[in-house]
A and B are shown apart, each in its own frame.
Chain A
Amino acid sequence: MIKVDASLCLGCLSCSNVCPSQNIIRTETAEKRSLHWKRCKEECDLCVEFCPAKALALVPFDEVVPEPDVSFDLVACKICGSRYATEPMLKRIESTLPANLQKDDTGLEWIRICPMCRRDVEAERAARQMVLGRSRKSP
């Protein structure tokens, strides 16, 4: 069965996606994401192999050990407030990307805003340049 190191788990759902016997149950509400590892006797270690955080390990089957559970509060977008990711996932992005790429030229910390708002910000930035050019055209 699977042992989970909750301090390492990102809450990314990789394991749940790759599990061939659907033994890793995900529940997601608007504000919370929970994962539950059912006791499994399979000898497959796909979830262990595909965990980006190396938070999982195969341990001998034991009926006494309770089934592992983790849950994460989802982080709210700084612009629209919609909840879009778990804190450990964002922390991981912040630790893997070079520091100079984590802010745009206006100083916006884009990692803390949701993908939808990122698209809006990009559209506004591009449109602002173009509209300025257009307004210069008319006397």
Chain B
Amino acid sequence: MPVYIDISRCIGCRSCEVACQRVHGGSGHINVHFVGDHLASVPIFCHHCEEANCTIACFTGALHKEGERTAFDVEKCTGCGLCRLACPFGVVWTNKIAHKCDLCEGRDAPTCVTTCPANALSTDFELASRRARARAAQAAVNGGRR
């Protein structure tokens, strides 16, 4: 159950950042990036990759796959920082020990998803795929224009 993003809905309010920091004791795992003089805003966070580079690089097994989730076992982490360098998206941090998105383990839903006022974030693959299909269909009807 990773988090899906519909970038065209993101309003750049950074509520997700604040919510994530609040839940994770000040160190957040989602960053809203502004592109092209605030033309667009894009939240960047862990993709929970199927074949995750961070789990390949982790030599103690602290980072591992648990179903769809890339899980983290704090007891096994030595803080070597190899995971941080192995992540192509730059969304694993190390500060003595590693920290990354845990999909808000123990909560009903990730706090970024429940906080986003623009419904840009969701955990529903069907919703993400339906929106993408609707946009493609609209483009077809409008002769290539969306």
Residues of A that sit less than 8 Å from B by CB = 10, 12-14, 17-18, 50, 52, 85, 89-90, 92-93, 96-97, 101, 104, 110-111, 114-120, 122-124, 126-131, 133-134, 136-137, 139
For B86-100 the 0/1 string (1 means CB < 8 A from A) is 111111110011000
Interchain CA distance A61-B121 in the complex, whole Å: 58
Is B44 interfacial (CB-CB < 8 Å)? Answer: yes
Interchain CA distance A12-B84 in the complex, whole Å: 11
For B40-76 the 0/1 string (1 means CB < 8 A from A) is 1010100000000100110110000000000000000
Judge whether B42 and A127 touch: CB under 8 Å.
Answer: yes
Chain A residues lying within 8 Å of B146, measured Cβ to Cβ, are 133-134, 136-137
11 sample A-B contacts, Cβ–Cβ < 8 Å, listed by A number = A12-B82, A13-B79, A17-B80, A52-B82, A96-B86, A118-B87, A119-B33, A119-B90, A123-B33, A128-B35, A136-B139
Interchain CA distance A129-B132 in the complex, whole Å: 13
Judge whether A127 and B31 touch: CB under 8 Å.
Answer: no
Chain B, range 88-141, C-beta contacts under 8 Å to A: 88-93, 96-97, 135, 139
* Count of B interface residues, CB-CB < 8 Å: 38
Judge whether A12 and B39 touch: CB under 8 Å.
Answer: no
Interchain CA distance A136-B111 in the complex, whole Å: 33
A115 and B7 contact, Cβ closer than 8 Å, known pairs A97-B57, A123-B44, A137-B145: no
Chain B residues lying within 8 Å of A85, measured Cβ to Cβ, are 81, 85
A13 and B80 contact, Cβ closer than 8 Å, known pairs A126-B42, A131-B40: yes
Interchain CA distance A109-B57 in the complex, whole Å: 17
Judge whether B40 and A104 touch: CB under 8 Å.
Answer: no
Minimum CB–CB distance from A104 to chain B (whole Å) comes to 7
Q: A90-B85, A96-B57, A104-B88 are in contact. List 4 more A-B contacts (CB 8 A).
A: A14-B80, A17-B96, A18-B78, A127-B7
Judge whether B40 and A89 touch: CB under 8 Å.
Answer: no
Judge whether B39 and A118 touch: CB under 8 Å.
Answer: no
Q: Nearest chain-B residue to A117 (Cβ)?
A: B90
Chain B residues lying within 8 Å of A110, measured Cβ to Cβ, are 88
Judge whether A127 and B85 touch: CB under 8 Å.
Answer: no
Interchain CA distance A85-B87 in the complex, whole Å: 13
A89 and B145 contact, Cβ closer than 8 Å, known pairs A97-B53, A118-B88: no
Chain A residues lying within 8 Å of B79, measured Cβ to Cβ, are 13-14, 17
Partner of B36, one of A127, A133, A139: A127
Partner of A122, one of B34, B44, B81, B97: B44
Judge whether B85 and A93 touch: CB under 8 Å.
Answer: yes
Judge whether B88 and A101 touch: CB under 8 Å.
Answer: yes
Chain A residues lying within 8 Å of B90, measured Cβ to Cβ, are 114-119, 122
